């Protein structure tokens, strides 16, 4: 089954790649891999939430936002590669979580991204989940990913 068929089976439509908010490319290809820039939880040009996780953003809402970030990263990688079927698998995911001082569940937030990529590719990937003080546009989460080309 092709990756596009898998997305269709899952009821997932890749979104348009969000327009960069600064001077960078959404994704670049190098050495058989696609590296995505950090993706925010943007849908139709709007953040799906703002604030720090553990204060104004719940863990569940943050995990959903991480899923949106991963979907945006997948779309950016597919566009750079010339189509989603040119991607073999997710290799590495790094998630950044804007965290309240006493919030320590960053891995559970980034599970939102990992779960999406696991559903799509059917494989596990390496990962880091990092708590940070603030993210661009007051986003609660940001995700970057590395994909292997098919």
Q: Any idea which residue has 């959903």 for tokens? A: 64
Q: Which domains does the chain have, with CATH numbers?
A: 3-149 (3.30.1330.40)
Q: Is the Cα dihedral 80, 88, 11, 51 positive or negative?
A: negative
Report the alpha-carbon distance of residue 135 to residue 3 in Å, rounded.
31
Number of C-beta neighbours around residue 24 at 10 A = 10
pLDDT tens profile 70-125 = 999 999 999 999 999 999 999 999 999 999 999 999 999 999 999 999 999 999 99
**Percent helix, percent strand, percent coil in the chain, to nearest 5:** 35, 30, 35
Query: Between vectors from CA 21 to CA 15 and to CA 26, what angle results, nearest 5°?
Result: 50
> What is the pLDDT confidence band of residue 22, given thresholds at 50, 70 and 90?
confident
The pairing of beta strand 27-30 with beta strand 33-36: antiparallel
pTM of the model as a whole: 0.96
């Amino acid at each position: 089954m092709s990756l596009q068929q898998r997305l269709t089976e899952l009821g997932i439509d890749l979104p348009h790649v969000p327009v960069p908010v600064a001077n960078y490319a959404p994704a670049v290809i190098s050495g058989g891999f696609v590296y995505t820039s950090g993706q925010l939880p943007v849908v139709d040009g709007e953040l799906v939430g703002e604030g720090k996780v553990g204060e104004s953003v719940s863990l569940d809402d943050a995990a959903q936002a991480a899923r949106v970030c991963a979907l945006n990263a997948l779309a950016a990688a597919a566009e750079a590669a010339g189509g989603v079927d040119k991607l073999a698998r997710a290799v590495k995911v790094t998630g950044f979580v804007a965290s309240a001082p006493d919030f320590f569940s960053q891995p559970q937030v980034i599970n939102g991204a990992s779960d999406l990529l696991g559903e799509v590719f059917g494989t596990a990937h390496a990962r880091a989940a990092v708590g940070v003080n603030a993210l661009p546009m007051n986003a609660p989460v940001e995700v970057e990913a590395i994909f292997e080309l098919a």
